[in-house]
Chain A
Amino acid sequence: MNDLYIIITASLVASSCALLGCYLILRKMAMVGDAISHAVLPGIVIAFLISGSRDSMTMLIGAGLIGILTTFLIEFLHKKARLQTDASIGVTFTWLFAIGVVLISLFAGKVDLDQDCVLYGEIAYVPLDTLIIGNQSIGPRALYIMGMILTAIILFIVFGYKELFLTTFDPAYATAIGISTTLWHYLLMGAVSATTVASFESVGAILVVALLIAPAATAYLLTDNLKWMLVFACIAGVAASVTGYYIAVWLDGSIAGAIAMMAGIIFIIAMLFSPTHGIFTKKFSRTAAADS
């Protein structure tokens, strides 16, 4: 049963991240996603201090705000201070992450968080922290939180499909027909932050980044259709979670690390053998064309 709980939780995280990741890489904002997933740390610590626990809305809201602040700061440094983009991303997230680590050391007694868990989480403990209603344990808390997050993201994409589509591919046209690119930009960043935070304790920052980028990049090499890209990204994410879990059990190592590794391996397979964009496929069809 515990195996199943872990795999389902990881798959929920993977699907949430994969869906958002598609939009991130299409908007050329993959590294902003990386930056946000690190920068929410001080938000988590502060929310923890205010609410005194892990499982409150305060945490999601606090971190969501920090995520939006991160995006804003990156853009401010780029546009107003004219700092090149790569440097403004680098300066911003390292600064916020350092503040987060210092806050953790400062309130070490009061905050039940540590640096390791922040970086690579501990999904193996997911089944231990169960949600109890009445006297009945109804399964791991993380499972329910991630379920809610995934539902929210699916609703966000279903209802905002047209807006997200247009602001991603043709921002000028979107603005012309009255869709605020800024609003949808920040909504997306808010969603990325909330997902990061919700996934944090189970899988850690690095796996969030891996799951945001790798499955979406895999799907990007398999199709030119956004709807299929979203579907393929979820499949790649879930496949990485399942295979990663069993590899981690087999090697007796970090589950998060193994899932990230599998996400990378699945990407490499797609990169080489994708029917449309694969490197080998292209080479083969070129030789075939030359022969005939």
Chain B
Amino acid sequence: MNSLLDFFSFADPNIRFVVIGSVLLTASSAIVGTFTFLHKKSLVGDAIAHAVLPGICLGFMLSGTKNPAYLIAGAFVTGWISLIGVEYITRHTRIKEDTAIGLVLSVFFGIGILMLTVIQKSGNAAQSGLDHFLFGKAAALVGQDLFVFGTVAVLLLIAVFLLFKEFALLAFDKDYAKAIGLPVRGIELTLTSLIVLAVVIGIQAVGVVLMAAILITPAAAARFWTNKISVMITLASIFGAFSGLSGAYISYIAPAMPTGPWIVIVISTVAFISFFFAPKRGVINRLLRQRNIRRTINDENVLKTLYQLSEESRNFFIQRSAEEIIRRRKFSLETLGKILKRLERQGYVERTGKHWSLTEEGKNRGQRVVRIHRLWELYLTTHLNIAPDHVHDDADTIEHLLTPELEAELEKLLNYPKVDPHKSEIPYS
């Protein structure tokens, strides 16, 4: 508990640097990353992250110092060249984009490693710490770094704020953007520059390999909670900032722990929770919804069958055995048992021994399904000119889906018909 207080009082300037630095990096990467994600360029972000390494080495070789300005300039140049490379290969050869990305990524990184090892053996004392770019050094951020990060983060924010509409439009409807005369190429280049910039400062926190994660994982997580792009960006930056803060805290209480990987583990956990538990888009929710729909369809099919069994005799409350139902419509005995039990709980059927009969509500619901089925068949034959023997399957699906409003409209449109195309009576309650 004490460590928590110590940490969040930010009394220690080192903690302050690390926390502000991590949060700035992760939040600004997440904001740019949202567009990277929406433009489906996640792996391009990964490629840039690997490709900046030779640039950083080049910046060092030419300037002889670790001044972040030179390193960032170098990184920017090779990051850009790598993107042009990917685009050139994809456009001028028959190689697909993913192969081109993998190729450029690994070759540039290989060159970077070669340069790094050559620098390390060159005897220049200033080089120590250059390999921080490989794995990040969030826990060792100092004031000078913060100044650079802060400037870049503000720059990114302003750019995204000013070009928000253009970026969003391009992500969803490039053709329209072209049609209304937007400089599509220019906007794409701007976005790419922002990605390169975000990557260049981000790899100092989490390193080359994990950079892709702080770029796109917050956006991927945020996507599951909303359909609005402004909300998505806000959520992504909150997720990013949270992971940056948590990562800094974890390496504060356990100094042997690397900050970068922990940032990634936290943000991945947030993402997996979102993938599974988010309302509407989450996996679990969707599976539940699918199960409910399946259940409704099964329930209604049994009620419909019970109704149809008694249509001739007009006595809808006759008791039927499971076998009678199965003879009319195929269910496995086990499924049918479960469905009938559920219907009994909901008050649609009543049970006497081994027999089942419809209640008043059950009869009405079964009747409604039969009615919609036959109305739909009639609608398809009269209004869409489909042969009467081709309409059954479609009606079997729609009977569970039509809302009462649509049902009423259909009745009015067909003028309350008496029979369907197969001369079966259409029942009204």
Listed in ascending order, the chain A residues whose CB lies under 8 Å from chain B are: 25, 28-31, 33-34, 38, 77, 80-84, 86-87, 89-91, 94-95, 97-99, 101-102, 105-106, 108, 115-116, 119-120, 206-207, 209-210, 212-214, 217, 220-221, 248, 251-254, 256-261, 263-264, 267, 271, 277, 279
Range class of the B interface residue count: 35 or more
Whole-angstrom distance between the alpha carbons of A34 and B209 in the complex? 11
The answer on a CB contact under 8 Å between B121 and A253 is yes
Produce 1/0 per residue, B205-247, CB < 8 A to A: 0001110110011011001100000000000000000000000
Given contact pairs A83-B220, A206-B109, A221-B95, A214 touches B103 in the complex (Cβ within 8 A): yes
Q: A91 is contacted by which of B112, B135, B217, B262 (Cβ under 8 Å)?
A: B217
Residue B265, interface by CB 8 Å: yes
Q: Name B93's contact: one of A89, A102, A258, A279 (CB within 8 Å).
A: A279
Residues of B within 8 A of A221 (CB): 93-95
Chain B residues with CB under 8 A of A98: 210, 213, 260-262, 264-265, 268
Chain B residues 110-155 with CB under 8 Å of chain A are: 110-118, 121, 131, 134-135
Instruction: Please determine whether A86 and B43 come into contact, CB atoms closer than 8 angstroms.
Output: yes
Verify A261–B114 contact, CB threshold 8 A. yes
Complex CA gap A77/B220 in Å reads 11
Determine if B135 and A115 form an interchain contact, defined as CB atoms under 8 angstroms apart. yes
26 residue pairs from A and B, CB less than 8 Å apart: A28-B98, A28-B99, A31-B102, A81-B282, A90-B217, A91-B217, A94-B268, A102-B258, A115-B135, A119-B208, A120-B113, A206-B50, A209-B106, A213-B99, A214-B106, A217-B95, A217-B99, A217-B103, A221-B95, A252-B121, A254-B114, A258-B114, A261-B107, A261-B111, A264-B108, A277-B94
Residues in chain B near residue A264, CB distance under 8 A: 103, 107-108, 110-111
Min CB–CB distance B340 → chain A (angstroms): 31
* A89 and B42 contacting across the interface, CB-CB below 8 Å: yes
Number of A-B contacts (CB under 8 A): 204
Cβ of A210 and Cβ of B42 under 8 Å apart?
A: no
CA separation between A89 and B113, bound complex, in Å? 24
Q: How far is the CB of A184 from chain B (nearest CB, A)?
A: 20
Q: A81-B283, A82-B281, A90-B216 are in contact. List 5 more A-B contacts (CB 8 A).
A: A86-B42, A217-B99, A251-B114, A260-B107, A264-B108
Contacts of B275 in A (CB 8 A): 77, 81, 83
B112 touches A257 (CB 8 A): yes
Report whether A90 and B95 are in contact in the complex, using a CB–CB cutoff of 8 Å: no
Q: Are B261 and A102 neighbours in the complex by a CB distance under 8 Å?
A: yes
In the complex, chain B residues whose CB is within 8 Å of the CB of A31: 43, 98, 101-102
Q: Which B residues are in CB contact (< 8 Å) with A260?
A: 106-107, 109-111, 113-114
B261–A91 contact, CB under 8 A? no
CA distance A42 to B141 in the complex (A): 27
Q: How far is the CB of B36 from chain A (nearest CB, A)?
A: 9
**B1 contacts the other chain (Cβ, under 8 Å)?**
no
List residues of chain A with CB within 8 A of the CB of B107: 210, 214, 260-261, 263-264, 267
Assembled-state Cα–Cα distance A248/B114 (Å): 8
For A252, the chain B residues whose CB sits under 8 A away are 117-118, 121
List the interface of chain B (C-beta within 8 A of A).
Answer: 37, 40-43, 45-46, 50, 89, 92-96, 98-103, 105-118, 121, 131, 134-135, 208-210, 212-213, 216-217, 219-220, 223-224, 256-258, 260-262, 264-265, 268, 271-272, 275-276, 281-283
A251 touches which of B106, B118, B283 (Cβ 8 Å): B118
Q: How far is the CA of A260 from the CA of B53 in the complex (A)?
A: 14
Identity of the chain B residue whose Cβ is nearest the Cβ of A282 in the assembled complex: B92
The answer to whether B113 and A256 touch across the interface, beta carbons within 8 angstroms, is yes
Q: How far is the CA of A259 from the CA of B279 in the complex (A)?
A: 49
> Which residue of chain B has the shortest Cβ distance to A213 in the bound complex?
B102
From the candidates A30, A38, A81, name the one contacting B99 in the complex (CB within 8 A): A30
Residues of A within 8 A of B281 (CB): 82
Which chain B positions have C-beta within 8 A of A106?
Answer: 257
Interface hub of B114, B116, B258 (most chain A Cβ within 10 A) = B114
Q: By the criterion CB–CB under 8 Å, are A206 and B113 in contact? A: yes
- Looking across the interface, which residue of chain A has its beta carbon closest to that of B44? A86
Which residue on A lies nearest to B110, using beta carbons?
A260
What B residues does A94 contact at CB under 8 A? 209-210, 212-213, 217, 264, 268
